[in-house]
Structure 1
Amino acid sequence: MRTVFHENLDELNGQLAKMCGRAGVAMKSATHALLAADLSAAEQVITAHDQMVGMRSDAEQAAFALLALQQPVAGDLRAVFSAIQIIADTERMDALAVHVAKIARLRYPEHTVYGEVSDCFAEMGRLAVGLGESAQQVLLTGDPAEAAHLREQDTSMDDLYRRLFSLLMSPSWDHGIAAAVDTALLGRFYERFADHAVEIGRRVVFIATGALPPEDDISTY
């Protein structure tokens, strides 16, 4: 029975890693749609979210089956409960990419962002994709030290988020109120995407060590 349990748990972890990878790809496509005013790319991100919802449902059923049929204890129980949390994080990451794509679609055929703001979002997109890939990798390896490095990438995202607001508050801002609202919302979507990736790292540390690090201290593990 324990062999079957661990095989099923490994399969569930594989599902989570795949979901995380898809979220990263979605944010990459959404960023392209945003920067290039690409309606087709935006629509593809939005439509593909239904697949992520289906994957979430399948993963949740697999996790609940492990709880109901295998009665895990100790470390195994931590792994299953953490998986349930991670399922929600990965689906939310994908949903945040959808939000970016929807703003790009709303403003089409016009570009949503310009100049230095556009450069900032290009870098935020790059970081978001990297965080998605890193989170996918730590789900596959279960390495708490590797998981801790997610916080470092998130710090760079936070720096860019603050930079966005400095641009919005600058007296030289001349793109109007609608663009300012779009910029503030988009920045929040990217920042929250990064936060969810870091939360996945925290859960991996918890599975491996039995201790859930404080949100601001994950990089010490």
Structure 2
Amino acid sequence: MRVIFKQEMQQLGDDLTRMSRQVATAIERATAALETADLTLAEQVIDADRRIDELERQLDEQGISLLARQGPVATDLRIVVSGLRLSATLERMGDLARHVAYVARGRYPENPTPGPMREILIKMARQATLVSQQVTQLLETRDLALAASIEADDDVLDQLHRESFQVILDDDVPMTRQQLVDAVLLGRYLERFGDHGVSVARRISYLVTGDLTNEVVNPAEQEAHHD
């Protein structure tokens, strides 16, 4: 019975990593679609989000089944509960990649924003892609140094987000109303993507150490605070 339990716990971890890889692919393609006005890539991201949603559903079923049948305690309980939280966070990251792709598709064959605003958003998208790659590596390794790095590097996205508002408010940078809306939305999507990466990093730190010094915030609660 214990062997089966260990196998199911391993499957939970493997599926989380698989989901994270799909999210990384989504934000990579959304970034490319944003850079090159590639309609095909944008549509691939939008279509693939259904698979990420389905993985979240499967992970939730696995976690609930483990709780109901095995009654895990101590570290095992942390793993299962963390798996449920992580799947929700990864699903939200997939949604944000889809939102970026929606903007890229909606402005095809043009690029969503011009000039300096475009440069900032591309930097943000590339940084978000890096975050997604680090998150996948973190789920594979549970490396606390990497978790700390993800949290520290979130300052890069936050700073770029602040710079985007400086450009938006600069009267010398001409933008249409639609371009202004796109700039605000894209900046928000990409900044939030980084925040969810931090949420994953904190959750893994808690999973490894059991230390709640750095509060692990539920992604839904984060959304409520930002909205």
TM superposition score normalised by structure 1: 0.93
Shift of 1:215: 6.4
- Calculate the aligned-residue CA RMSD, in Å: 1.5
Aligned partners of 2:173, 2:115: CA distance in 1, in Å?
Answer: 11
Aligned partners of 1:31, 1:147: CA distance in 2, in Å?
Answer: 23
Shift of 1:62: 1.1
1:80 alignment counterpart:
80
Percent identity for Structure 1 against Structure 2: 37
Aligned partners of 1:150, 1:16: CA distance in 2, in Å?
Answer: 18
Aligned partners of 1:123, 1:3: CA distance in 2, in Å?
Answer: 46
2:101 alignment counterpart:
101
Shift of 1:39: 1.1
2:215 alignment counterpart:
214
Q: Tell me the alpha carbon deviations over residues 73-115 of structure 1, each in whole angstroms, 9 at most, x when there is no partner.
A: 0111111111101000101101101101111111112211222
Alpha carbons 2:34, 2:122 under 8 Å: kept: no
Alpha carbons 1:24, 1:128 under 8 Å: kept: no
Specify every segment of 5 or more residues in structure 1 that has no aligned partner in the other structure, as ranges: 217-221
Tell whether 2:206 aligns with 1:194. Answer: no
Residue type at the aligned position of 1:39? L
Q: Tell me the alpha carbon deviations over residues 41-66 of structure 1, each in whole angstroms, 9 at most, x when there is no partner.
A: 11111011111111111111111111
Aligned partners of 2:176, 2:36: CA distance in 1, in Å?
Answer: 20
Specify every segment of 5 or more residues in structure 2 that has no aligned partner in the other structure, as ranges: 218-227
Residues 106-125 of structure 1 aligned to structure 2 (within 5 Å): 106-125=106-125
Aligned partners of 2:2, 2:157: CA distance in 1, in Å?
Answer: 41
Aligned partners of 1:10, 1:141: CA distance in 2, in Å?
Answer: 13
Aligned partners of 1:56, 1:2: CA distance in 2, in Å?
Answer: 25
2:16 alignment counterpart:
16
2:225 alignment counterpart:
none
Residue type at the aligned position of 2:133? E
1:219 alignment counterpart:
none
Alpha carbons 1:35, 1:113 under 8 Å: kept: no
Residues 148-167 of structure 1 aligned to structure 2 (within 5 Å): 148-167=148-167
Tell whether 2:27 aligns with 1:27. Answer: yes
Alpha carbons 2:45, 2:97 under 8 Å: kept: yes
Aligned partners of 1:68, 1:117: CA distance in 2, in Å?
Answer: 50
Structure 1 stretches of 4+ with a deviation exceeding 3 A read: none
Alpha carbons 1:127, 1:153 under 8 Å: kept: no
2:90 alignment counterpart:
90
- Give the secondary structure class of the aligned counterpart of 2:22: helix
Aligned length: 216
